[in-house]
A and B are shown apart, each in its own frame.
Chain A
Amino acid sequence: MSRKIVIGFDDSESARSALDFATNLAKSDGSELVIAHVLEWSPYSFLTPEELEERHKRRKEELNRAETALIGPIAEKLRADGVNVSTVLRYGHIAETLCAIVEEAGASQIVIGRTGHSSLSSRLFGSVAGSLAQASPVAVTIVP
């Protein structure tokens, strides 16, 4: 019976620790690792006319960059290491989107670093880890 572990990954120091933690976990019991990267996005943010025009192009670039520079190489490395890995790349509210990914994948737990990027704003408005701990449908492991 293979289980799935979702790891919320954003290339920060603590996300790397979380990835290591999740990798060990996956190796120990043969779980599948779902590396999820969420690009912060709100459909209610405000853009200038020029940004509207370029949005589709920028989105493609951002997805491409995240795939080739961030998630892709890591997934490759883990696969070579014998870990069963899949990747998800999404736009949205980070905590909400991670919850949605967990449900879609049918994962049994989620692992996340304590502080991702933008720690200043997270101090003001609550961190991803904090809101995930409250909203997640499955067990959350927060790695320092």
Chain B
Amino acid sequence: MKKTTQASVLAPLAMVAAASPALAQSIDERVNEIFASSTGWFVNLIFSPFPGTSFPWIVAWLVVAATVFTVYFGLIQFRAFPHSIALVRGDYSDPNDAGEVSHFQALATALSGTVGLGNIAGVAVAVGIGGPGATFWMILAGLMGMASKFTECTLGVKYRNEYEDGTVSGGPMYYLTKGFDERGIPAGRILAVLFSIFCILGALGGGNMFQANQAHAQITNVVGEYPGWITGLVFAGIVFAVIVGGLKSIARVTEKVVPFMGILYVVTALIIILMNADKIGWAFGQIFEGAFTGLGVAGGFVGALIQGFKRAAFSNEAGVGSAAIAHSAVRTKEPITEGFVSLLEPFIDTVVICTMTALVIIITGQLVSDPNTGMYLLNEGGTAIQTVDGNSGVALTSAAFSSAFGWFQYVLAIAVILFAFSTMISWSYYGLKAWTFLFGEGQTKEIIFKVIFCIFVVIGAAANLGPVIDFSDAAIFAMAVVNIIGLYFLMPIVKAELNSYLSRLKSGEIRKYT
């Protein structure tokens, strides 16, 4: 087992490192071919639309789940919102627990895993294709997703493993096994194994290759074209130093800079919006009108809806199960409190940050519309709305921000790199947890995964592996399929926790310390 893994690990590294451009080209093509032919069915299965529509069933799966949890827990995301903020502020934290993981820290770490390219590039794609109306559906999906996060993170803490030495491991693989056993439902173990497999694939793909790839794209955007494997090796070196070498200081710096970049991003967006204060009413008018009429975008209002829902799900990962892994280390006697805290995550990620991106793109007039009819003009292929400079994705966001502040493209490039890096660190951990769940804990086993992870950084940055990225996106959503099945079975447990907690909060048994 060990030998074959090492061999398969070293082979691609050697190929990438030694490759001349021509050779790399042919390697890319071959990898693409092999991947496309062997995984295409899986990608198609996950992203296939309902018959006769262009609406992918997986998007409906996530939205239906979020709606079910919202109704089942009685609009918990709105009812518990003030209490969530009080928990994060530490109002209910026992001072004797100082030095343990606080609610704030668990939230901040989970956020740095989700705030990333989805907020910058993904939103631009949504607005570029679905028009301003996509923003409305994105916000709605973000608000609903808060209930999914609440459910999975409560379970993550409740069924985590606490070991003798004081370390903890939690996440869907643990609540699927332990929660299902407790309720006497079979097949929990099978779901947990499936989840772990998808989680490893998602970690290597969406949480790694996609990030490295997009970071490289953004760097070349600013400094000009150069081979991707250089970015890949640098990134892989840093990631290696952090996750294998235990060089925590780099990670800690990133963890500190990422929230700062997030705040800078939101503040800059707010300034741009305020500079165009006269257009705010118009922009919201476009968002609401577009949400129901489409304003002539590709696919009409259904197109806006699909784009909005899809990008929200990509961005905040509600229902995917990844956040449950990050949140489960918090120090609390009440698992439900971490559920409350985690519901702030889709709010910050989607309702605040994604909306800022969308508003800036709309308000700076990046989307071209017909002055007579007010309808948006489509590009030549009819696939997306015409933009001022023909930009899309991260370049569209960059152009929108730079139209107000020319220097912002450099800030954005740095932000993209840091976001990509912190997302990689988070996903390396999620993948590792799934890996150790499958293969058991142990230094050698963990190192094997970490080395594989670093190699995929190089591959992700070096190659244009469309099918591989499709596959890894599909793997992340496959996590949601397994996770949400589990959530449906386990949601009565969360409900019992919630009722017990709320009644004790009301009776004053749970009280503030400050």
Contact = CB atoms under 8 A, between A and B. Distances in A.
B341 interface: no
Interface residues of A, number: 24
A61 B102 CA distance: 18
Interface string A26-63: 00000000000001010111111111111111011011
A22 B318 CA distance: 56
Contacts of B408: none
B251 interface: yes
Given A43-B93, A56-B166, A57-B165, A48 B429 contact: yes
A50 B100 contact: no
Interface in A55-112: 55-57, 59-60, 62-63, 90-92
B166 A46 contact: no
Contacts of B331: 55-56
Residues of B contacting A: mostly: helix
Interface residues of B, number: 37
Contacts of B251: 48
Residues of A contacting B: mostly: helix
B168 A47 contact: no
Contacts, number: 85
B416 interface: no
Nearest to A51: B248
Interface string B399-425: 000000000000000000000000001
A43 B106 contact: no
Contacts of A39: 99
Contacts of A54: 166-167
B259 interface: yes
A47 B104 CA distance: 10
A48 B254 CA distance: 9
Contact of B101 (A56, A62, A92): A56
A43 B104 contact: yes
Contacts of A91: 98-99
Nearest to A58: B166
A90 B100 CA distance: 12
B329 A55 contact: yes
B425 A60 contact: no
B98 to A, nearest CB: 4
B99 A41 contact: yes
Contacts of A48: 109, 242, 248, 251-252, 255, 425, 429
A105 B447 CA distance: 49
A47 B109 contact: yes
Nearest to A49: B429
23 contacts: A41-B98, A44-B102, A44-B104, A44-B105, A48-B109, A48-B248, A48-B251, A49-B325, A49-B426, A50-B243, A52-B109, A53-B168, A53-B169, A54-B167, A55-B99, A55-B101, A55-B329, A56-B167, A57-B166, A59-B100, A59-B166, A62-B99, A91-B99
Interface of A: 39, 41, 43-57, 59-60, 62-63, 90-92
